[in-house]
Amino acid sequence: MLFNSLNYLIFFPIVILFYFAIPAKYKEIRNFWLLVASYFFYMNWNAAYALLLFGSTFVTYLAGILIEKAIEKENISFAKWILGISFAINIGILFFYKYINFFILNINRILGLRGSNEIGLLDILLPVGISFYIFQALGYTMDVYRQKTKATKNLFRYMLFVSFFPQLVAGPIERSTNLLKQFDEEHRFDTDRVREGLLTMLWGLFMKIMIADNLAVYIDSVYENYPAFAGIEIILATMMFAFQIYCDFGGYTYLAIGSAKVLGFTLMENFNAPYQATSIKDFWRRWHISLTGWFTDYLYIPLGGNRKGKMRKYVNTFIVFFVSGLWHGASWSYVVWGVINGIYLIIQDVTVAVRQKVKQYLHVREDRFSYRFGCGVVTFFLVDFSWLFFRAKSLGIAVDMLKQIVLSLQPAKIFGLAVNRMGYSMQQLVALIFAMLLLFAFDILKNHIYLMSKEDVQNRSGSRARQAGRPANVFQIVLSQGMWFRWLVYLGLLFVILVYGAYGLEYTQTEFIYFQF
């Protein structure tokens, strides 16, 4: 069931209605209702794979209990064994369903097996969201082992933690220290919270339907038939893809956060104006924050992090981004994408002293807008170069597209690029440009506005002290304005979604890109 579908438009109000019809004091009944709704939501893709979801959940549930008991008895070695078994089973499930055919293909290639001698591929359908819910479940067992959270004895509550439908199939990858404890709380109907949740969902739909799906029109035409396009057109399509994947994945995240907020739950932020980053390190603090945090806490730090010298730090960084690329898909193009970003980070760290001396010699002021803007442009183009490998169907195609850029750039074509060659009408193109400008304005507000408490936002008074590391809540700011402004925002977003998005003449409902991971 897709968030951008009529099915969800029916499903979600029914879930809300029954959830709040149950008195708040009956938390377990409410949780059971959400659990049933979550499994129904997941089974709409493939009912059989609900068993896989339950299997992963049950293994980590038992592991959490056994680990906690072993630690209480100071039997740390047994706790490590249980943790290792839990990881082995879940990673084994992930490997089989996501990577077994990739493994077979590479074995055939390495051994030179062809024709009747080849190892046959398995007919397996990748379960939607498997990488997300397995990582969330494994994070729980690690948190129990580290004694950051208590093992839950309530199976239904833990099942709900792993399968909570707003973030089940594409994150954010939640931590037990945040989400699990919220199922113990009483969530009462709150009009302000519901309004904020619905506005958040509306913005998510705008990002997905109005921007991401419309950008896909030109991007898909170029990437599906790249030999027919000049190098400059491939560059343009790749730049557009940077925003497509942001709006597609970010749109899903806002829909997930908004859906949870309506029900009274708070999910973590997953994006913070990523294309306003002024360095690669800054970009990865802003992009897919939940996955970056997961790899930092459960892979980078256990490998030694930066505690064992510079060279070990760089090796660990490389390993993390290699694994991150592989996590995204069973293809060498994803691995190369991850490795490129890992190399960026290593180079950035290695050259710190040199860059600092150059800036001092040239009297560069880091607080100047021109400096930050220049850093932002360089960062964007570095990130965008890696996106080409992410979007291409294979590593070979990515290399061919780079050759096309070098050998057939034809920069003059950008000035004569016909709108109909891009696949848009003039009206659609103008609407898309306007939507992109609105996205930039949103991210600028989110990244630069001074944060206020909810009471200050409502009263528009009080101190405006910036809180480092916390993005501004643009939705609360909008909701604090006068009624005419609020309704202008509501109706404006609905108008462009309905006219140029979901019910436009050429719109085809599409899945979210990250569902395949």
| Candidate list 288, 328, 363, 448, residue with the active-site label | 328
Nearest to 3 by CA among 500, 497, 505, 437: 497
Whether 288 is catalytic is no
The phi, psi pair for 113, rounded to 5°, reads -80, 135
CA distance 338 to 333: 9
What's the CA angle centered on 192, arms 191 and 196, to 5 degrees?
A: 115
Residue 323: name the closest of 350, 348, 294 by CA: 294
CA distances from 208 to 175, 243, 247, 320, 506 (A): 26, 11, 6, 29, 15
Q: How far are the Cα atoms of 255, 435, 475, 496, 508 from residue 489, in angstroms, in the given order?
A: 17, 13, 11, 11, 25
Residue labelled with tokens 């989110």:
446
Q: Please enumerate in sequence order all residues whose Cβ is within 8 A of that of 136, keeping only pairs 6 or more positions apart, or say none.
A: 161, 162, 173, 174
CA distance 128 to 42: 8
Instruction: Give the sign of the dihedral formed by CA 330, CA 332, CA 335, CA 341.
Output: negative
Reading the block at residue 307, the tokens are: 């505690």
Query: 243 near 218, Cβ under 8 Å?
Result: no
Give me the active site residues, please. 328
